[in-house]
Structure 1
Amino acid sequence: MVKRRTVLLGGAATAGALVIGWGVVPPRQRLHTAQPLPPATGQVALNGWLKVAADNTVTVMMAKSEMGQGAHTGLAAILAEELDADWAQVRLEMAPIDDIYNNLATVVDGLPFHPDNDGSIKAVAGWLTAKTMREVGVMMTGGSSSIKDLWRPMREAGAHARAMLINAAAVQWKVQAAECKASAGVVEHAAGQRATFGELAALAAQQPPPGKVTLKEPAEFKLIGKPLTRIEAPSKLDGSAVFGIDAHPPGLLHASVVMCPTRGGKVAQFDGAAAHKMPGVKQVLAVAPYHGGTGGVAVIADTPWHAKKAAAAVTVQWDHGPAATLSSAAVMTQLTHALDQAQGFGYHSVGDVDKALQGAATTLTADYRAPYLAHATMEPINCTVQFKDGVASVWTSTQVPGLARMAAAKALGIDEDKVTVHQLLLGGGFGRRLEVDYVAQAAAIAKTAGGAPVQTLWSREQDIQHDFYRPACVARFKAGLDAQGQLVAWHNVSAGQAIVPQVLARTFGLPGAGPDKTTSEGAFDQPYEWPHARIAHEIIDLPLPVGFWRSVGHSHQAFFKESFVDEAAHAAKKDPVAFRAALLQKHPRHLKVLQKAAELAGWGQPLPPDASGVQRARGVALHQSFGSIVAQVAEVSVGADKAIRVHRVVCVIDCGAAINPNLIAQQMESAVVYGLTAALWGEVTIKDGQVQQSNLHDYPLLRMSDCPRVETHIMASAEPPEGVGEPGVPPIAPAVANALFALTGQRLRALPLKLS
């Protein structure tokens, strides 16, 4: 069957090869787009990932969104490395929407298998999922997958283009290609001939595609592994960077929206007469709920201020919908009741945990809980749309450009090929811009503007109160220890909403199928060698919409799991680091990360009081997420007013090959700040179906004055690169909670952390 691969790659298969052959061959090529890339003057495209211009610039086609994580810099360096380009000649252009840019890694990693599972079922499921996503998946930036997803395709694209340039030089000089080499944007021949990539580009594009190419060994890397300056940094420093909110096509109008205060509600009726009389107002209209969003009224005006003032003057009667009676207290009661009643779907089981608990010398149990959380990105939700002459242009910050195009087309009632998406920088995403409710809403508003472009901008209040929230979750643990204090049994059941079925329903109108890994990730997929264990989750349906939040299930499950590990260590009268180390004897990478963090933090050495006599303590947490292993040690103090202060965080990460150590350190710092914000203050509460928080005064973010010193250490590794953007978030909350226990003796089992 493998010999029939070339037939299958052509898009047709013989009857005998259709099913089995499709399952055996790898995903179809990710080198060439369905339509040739549109070149600018002097440019030629050598494949779907890069164009070379006569002025010797190399334009890398960027299929991932830049939202501060540094993906553009890291990915450009990977391609430039294999191309042998000079870093100074590299430019970026957002890629068109095409299947070769579909994200394979996130969906494959979302399969509900334990990382230690190396069985054939996991291999086949991953293989088939990757092949399917190549054909019918989506372009997506999320799941800390940008580098992992494109590590191979961008290296191959660079290597193929380098081979074409070398072949062009060989043809031009009438020499053997093997006698030529590329370096820093130039091809040279042993006899002294020399030509830049720009001089060879046109001829290179006429060369037949090379066959097999050889990728570099790590010892040959010149760019990968180096602390290259962020490629978009100059534009951010001089103000020329264009975020979604900066879109300003000629003739721009502005729209402000006021949505039903109950999440998921809609307009029953409205009176816009007063708003119509206000300065600058062009239109007042009702907007429906789109893609799981909330309905409301919108005002189009000549300025954002006029639009906002007029929107506040509209009188609305609301249909509050099914969430009208929902409250945070009722949610927690329902989730806790589920723990009392259900066993949940088992994600991981080993041994006989019930028998082991019965025979344990010591048993302990504890319940943990975490609240809903909003994303609160720096750039509020916005989208600019122009609909004229049956075609549309969309300017937006999005993590899913293909889905944004689909949503706009559906809202406008036109085909997707009549919508052009201009993908701009994101002022934060964290998963919120994986949703397309705001794109559809903006398109529907612009449809009424008579061909003028309209920017729909949400206020901070509308943003926080109409989010897709990190699910609230509760967990119950039971552990058994033998007479020597060794952990012999681990039982964990959690309860909360499932994200993936909601996303499938509101985005594609599809039902969820199979278990949703995000409900239990961070609980079941960990390296600890529990002799007897069962880890499960019970899905609870609630009317509040939930979505992907930075590190998703890991964000709360790590707090639950690592806090209870500390409880078990305390019950066993063992040091928390030593207790964990005993559970990692078959996981040397994890053990080394843990030990390095302890070493760098000075674990076991006394912490003297500061100049004011305030005592500090350390807490540790170890967690694996998105393929990366992170250990953190937090140094914490408590003020006289019981305010929690984190002074220092030692963060050690093994993320495989480090593409750019600067970016990794920046992401660990960012993750600590984001995770610490949630650990100390993050909480969305619901009353009568309405979110009670509205702005940064009651949904606060960590201030610079409260930021700890973050010291990042990157473990050397020859493994392929793994995720970086999210893995630093999960360990910080339990590290702080464990430090607080060491300092005060109080075991905090609920987020946000509050001392009594």
Structure 2
Amino acid sequence: MTVHSSRRGFLKGAAAATAVFMVGVRPNGVLAAASAESKMFNPFVKIGSDGSVTAIVKHFEKGQGPATGLPTLIAEELGLRMDQIDYEFAPSNPQVYSNLLFGQFQGTGGSTAMANSFMQYRKAGAAAREMLISAAADEWGVDAAGLRIEEGMVVGAGKSAPIGEFAAGAAGLEPPAEPKLKDPGEFRLIGDPDVRRLDTEIKSNGTAKFAMDLHLPNQMIAVIKRPPRKDGMAVGMDDSGAKAIKGFINAAILPNKAGVAVYAENTWAALQAREALDVEWDMSQAESRSSDEIKAEIIAALSAEPEFNVLKNDHGAINAALDGAATVVEETFYFPLLAHAPMEPLNCTIEATADGGILLHDGCQFPTGPHMALAQIFQLPMEKIRINTMLAGGSFGWRATPDADYQVEAALAFVMTDRSRPVKLVWSREDDIKGGRYRPAFGHKVRVGLDGDGNIVGWDHRIAGQSIMKGTPFEALTVHDGVDHSSVEGVSDTPYRIPGQFVGLTDTQKATSLLWWRSVGHTHTAYVMEVMMDLAAKAAGRDPVEFRLAHLNGEKDQDRMAGVLKLAAEKGNWGRVPEGRAQGVAVHKSFGSYVAEVLEISGNAEDGVRIENVTCAVDCGIAVNPDIVKAQMEGGIGYGIGHVMRDQITLTGGEVDQFNFPDYEPLRISDIQAIDVHIVASQEMPTGVGEPGTPPAAPALANAISAASNNLRVSSLPMAENGVSFA
């Protein structure tokens, strides 16, 4: 998607900057007041009299790279080296820092950081450049057309001086309405594979401040004892056992009865006191189903008439085409609940400010949500609530809840105190696994019909599962005619040319709290589409790559998807593997990007599978920071493969069975021997990279296992529980 910021919007933002830029947030987590020596040029660029340049980053950093990518855009247009620019996180202010793809909402997600910021930040850097040059031209009495900025120096007309000398004068000029952007042929930083992350040093030397690292003077630790099953309510408690724990302060039922807050002087005391607490739960409205019942409900829904005809086409005609097909390939798939399991469990800290306001310290992915929630809880105007966005140790969607649930927990825990001491809410790993929000369970049932020449003549695709978006503030954006697009994305909008495609959807009852998970619906839809394409290719007696390419001809969308498939096949030596090896392939479009992966294994499902290599090709438009793009592909591949190998969340009587990494095992470094990433050169607008590497990974593995194991169909996950062993 191409994003343009309007002149009116840009100038309104620049005017608003005078009100919001007195406080930024440094990458080490410290609130920083803009000194008199620093001048704001627009909402995204601050320049000091010493020539220091700071990019104001509106997207939070959870490891995916915007704290490098967005400064790169400014540095490129402003004429700096990467070591001449620093960054601060923007304050919560959706009028200035909204995600342009989310509307009037400030947030990071959906792999949109670069897609919605590319032109915005380039224009910010270009505007600052023109203002500095204009100020220098005025001071030197020369024509601005003969000046330029190189590595932080204004040069030309036989003169040169650091940009800091002109910062004060330049900041007072009218921002140019349409600053001239560099031609891509002039780029020195954008697309340079040698540009490295700006946050590597602070993360390596320990000075980076993640939200969990924050320790305020006189703070209390709060942990929540939550009901063992969804929708349970706390109606009474006995804290006599907790009082015997050294460091215990108090315990109180939350105002919404969703749990009991336990306060202590340190985390260990809080956790021990929580264990000693005796809580009376009202479980009359709580979830009581087990995983087998939930799965049976979903599978049964796949055999009934779908609730929604997503593409609104003639289901009867498609069934007739399938009934007349020479060959029909059919499979039913099931995907269990999955936890996000980031390395840093949820946490945040709340304190009162001297002006009667509230300050939230948080690895805050969606600032607007908690900002509004805290204003309501504390009955304060929005300007009295501030958010210090800190680094986060992963998220995968977990820190972007539609109801700001963990921030609300912290606020409720704080509001019950006298507010004289900061309160730091801490989730344990067990809290995260047992009481978190999960990728919903889904089932698919697919029939593909082929004619005598092996061409697809019909595709009947039924999907049943638990809607993420319905009942949330995002429903209006993502649910249309009753269909939650996140349930069917990757199927209903596939770039494949599929004759006679029917897509049906049935919503089933939610068993747990649900949330988007890295790549959202594409986590299951890509698996089904790519495994079915392999099965259809084999039934047609055709090579899986060639079969896919035959359904990717026509328009730019198909050409770009075919391009990554060809590149991955070439670089992955498709069809040319040594004896004892097998390959699988998958290709998928998500978040505007195209990713193909060729996965090579040794062994087989019975004796043990070893992943030898993954070759990835990605087309994400202009790759602003190729090093980060490669890292995100590698991480996404590992995330997708690791979860399908061994992981699932199961319920017994409504209670989550898993509790920690011993029984919800993350990817091990030994699980994948090598990953090789190739980036397609492109002049298209940048698209997402944080999530698109994940969807093709699992089906590529499944297809490789099938090739090595007498066409075994891995249609239920996790693989380790469904006939696959790993070496």
Considering the TM-score relative to the shorter chain, is it more than 0.5?
yes
Residue 354 (structure 1) shift: 3.0
Residue 642 (structure 1) shift: 4.2
Q: Distance in 1 between matches of 2:453 and 2:513?
A: 47
Residue 356 (structure 1) shift: 2.6
Q: Distance in 2 between matches of 1:153 and 1:513?
A: 33
SS at match of 2:439: coil
Superposed, 1:147-166 pairs within 5 Å as 147-166=114-133
Instruction: State whether residues 231 and 287 of structure 2, in contact with CA within 8 Å, keep that contact through their aligned partners in structure 1.
Output: no
Instruction: State whether residues 254 and 457 of structure 1, in contact with CA within 8 Å, keep that contact through their aligned partners in structure 2.
Output: yes
Whether 2:704 is the aligned partner of 1:739: answer yes
SS at match of 2:470: helix
The worse-fitting range, judged by mean Cα deviation, of 654-663 and 28-37 is 28-37
Whether 2:510 is the aligned partner of 1:570: answer no
Q: How many equivalent residue pairs?
A: 693
> 2:310 corresponds to which residue?
347
Superposed, 1:14-33 pairs within 5 Å as 31-33=14-16
Change over 3 Å in CA distance of 1:261–1:28 after alignment to 2: farther
> 1:298 corresponds to which residue?
261
> 2:60 corresponds to which residue?
65
Q: Distance in 1 between matches of 2:427 and 2:177?
A: 51
> 1:471 corresponds to which residue?
440
> 1:118 corresponds to which residue?
none
Instruction: State whether residues 642 and 755 of structure 1, in contact with CA within 8 Å, keep that contact through their aligned partners in structure 2.
Output: no
SS at match of 1:69: coil
The worse-fitting range, judged by mean Cα deviation, of 321-330 and 86-95 is 321-330
Whether 2:275 is the aligned partner of 1:312: answer yes
Q: Distance in 2 between matches of 1:672 and 1:311?
A: 38
The runs of 5 or more residues in structure 2 that have no matched partner are 1-5, 23-33
Superposed, 1:1-20 pairs within 5 Å as none
> 1:331 corresponds to which residue?
294
Whether 2:500 is the aligned partner of 1:532: answer yes
Q: Distance in 1 between matches of 2:647 and 2:342?
A: 13
Q: Distance in 2 between matches of 1:251 and 1:224?
A: 45
> 1:600 corresponds to which residue?
571
Change over 3 Å in CA distance of 1:743–1:9 after alignment to 2: closer
Aligned residue among 96, 99, 103 for 1:103 = 99
> 1:110 corresponds to which residue?
none
SS at match of 1:438: helix
> 1:122 corresponds to which residue?
none
Residue 562 (structure 1) shift: 0.5
Amino acid at match of 2:455: Q
Q: Distance in 1 between matches of 2:489 and 2:548?
A: 19
Residue 181 (structure 1) shift: 1.3
Instruction: State whether residues 323 and 544 of structure 1, in contact with CA within 8 Å, keep that contact through their aligned partners in structure 2.
Output: no
The worse-fitting range, judged by mean Cα deviation, of 94-103 and 423-432 is 94-103
Instruction: State whether residues 83 and 159 of structure 1, in contact with CA within 8 Å, keep that contact through their aligned partners in structure 2.
Output: yes
Instruction: State whether residues 502 and 545 of structure 1, in contact with CA within 8 Å, keep that contact through their aligned partners in structure 2.
Output: no
> 1:3 corresponds to which residue?
none
> 1:429 corresponds to which residue?
395
Q: Distance in 2 between matches of 1:644 and 1:43?
A: 58
Give % identity.
Answer: 37
> 1:18 corresponds to which residue?
none
Whether 2:371 is the aligned partner of 1:409: answer no
> 1:40 corresponds to which residue?
35
Change over 3 Å in CA distance of 1:657–1:321 after alignment to 2: farther
1:325-346 deviation line (CA, Å, top 9, x unaligned): 1221111111122122232433
Q: Distance in 2 between matches of 1:560 and 1:323?
A: 32
Aligned residue among 442, 445, 450 for 2:413 = 445
Instruction: State whether residues 126 and 179 of structure 2, in contact with CA within 8 Å, keep that contact through their aligned partners in structure 1.
Output: yes
1:174-207 deviation line (CA, Å, top 9, x unaligned): 2221121122111122x21222221111000111
Amino acid at match of 1:101: Y
Q: Distance in 1 between matches of 2:518 and 2:471?
A: 17
> 1:751 corresponds to which residue?
717
SS at match of 2:483: coil
Q: Distance in 1 between matches of 2:606 and 2:308?
A: 43
Residue 243 (structure 1) shift: 0.4
Amino acid at match of 1:666: A
Residue 357 (structure 1) shift: 1.8
Q: Distance in 1 between matches of 2:7 and 2:84?
A: 34
> 1:368 corresponds to which residue?
333
Whether 2:53 is the aligned partner of 1:50: answer no
> 2:625 corresponds to which residue?
660
Residue 415 (structure 1) shift: 2.9
Instruction: State whether residues 388 and 452 of structure 1, in contact with CA within 8 Å, keep that contact through their aligned partners in structure 2.
Output: no
> 1:680 corresponds to which residue?
645
Instruction: State whether residues 656 and 721 of structure 1, in contact with CA within 8 Å, keep that contact through their aligned partners in structure 2.
Output: yes
Residue 79 (structure 1) shift: 1.5
SS at match of 2:285: helix
Superposed, 1:9-408 pairs within 5 Å as 31-33=14-16, 35-38=19-22, 39-98=34-93, 99-105=95-101, 107=102, 133=103, 137-189=104-156, 191-227=157-193, 228-288=195-255, 295-320=258-283, 322-348=285-311, 352-387=317-352, 390-408=356-374
The worse-fitting range, judged by mean Cα deviation, of 34-43 and 495-504 is 34-43
The worse-fitting range, judged by mean Cα deviation, of 321-330 and 54-63 is 321-330
Amino acid at match of 1:443: A
Amino acid at match of 1:470: R
Whether 2:661 is the aligned partner of 1:718: answer no
Amino acid at match of 2:228: P
Residue 748 (structure 1) shift: 0.9
RMSD of equivalent CA atoms = 2.3
Residue 485 (structure 1) shift: 0.7
Instruction: State whether residues 505 and 512 of structure 1, in contact with CA within 8 Å, keep that contact through their aligned partners in structure 2.
Output: no
SS at match of 1:322: coil
Amino acid at match of 1:538: T
Q: Distance in 1 between matches of 2:474 and 2:500?
A: 37
SS at match of 2:566: helix
SS at match of 1:705: coil
Change over 3 Å in CA distance of 1:349–1:732 after alignment to 2: farther
Residue 708 (structure 1) shift: 2.9
Instruction: State whether residues 76 and 125 of structure 2, in contact with CA within 8 Å, keep that contact through their aligned partners in structure 1.
Output: yes
Q: Distance in 2 between matches of 1:371 and 1:543?
A: 11
The worse-fitting range, judged by mean Cα deviation, of 553-562 and 380-389 is 380-389
Aligned residue among 667, 689, 692 for 1:727 = 692
Instruction: State whether residues 501 and 512 of structure 1, in contact with CA within 8 Å, keep that contact through their aligned partners in structure 2.
Output: no
SS at match of 2:621: coil
Instruction: State whether residues 387 and 446 of structure 1, in contact with CA within 8 Å, keep that contact through their aligned partners in structure 2.
Output: no
Residue 551 (structure 1) shift: 0.2
SS at match of 2:708: helix
SS at match of 1:434: coil
Q: Distance in 2 between matches of 1:502 and 1:697?
A: 34
Q: Distance in 2 between matches of 1:602 and 1:434?
A: 40
Q: Distance in 1 between matches of 2:620 and 2:284?
A: 45
1:660-696 deviation line (CA, Å, top 9, x unaligned): 1110111111011111111101201011111111000
The worse-fitting range, judged by mean Cα deviation, of 686-695 and 26-35 is 26-35
Instruction: State whether residues 92 and 371 of structure 2, in contact with CA within 8 Å, keep that contact through their aligned partners in structure 1.
Output: no
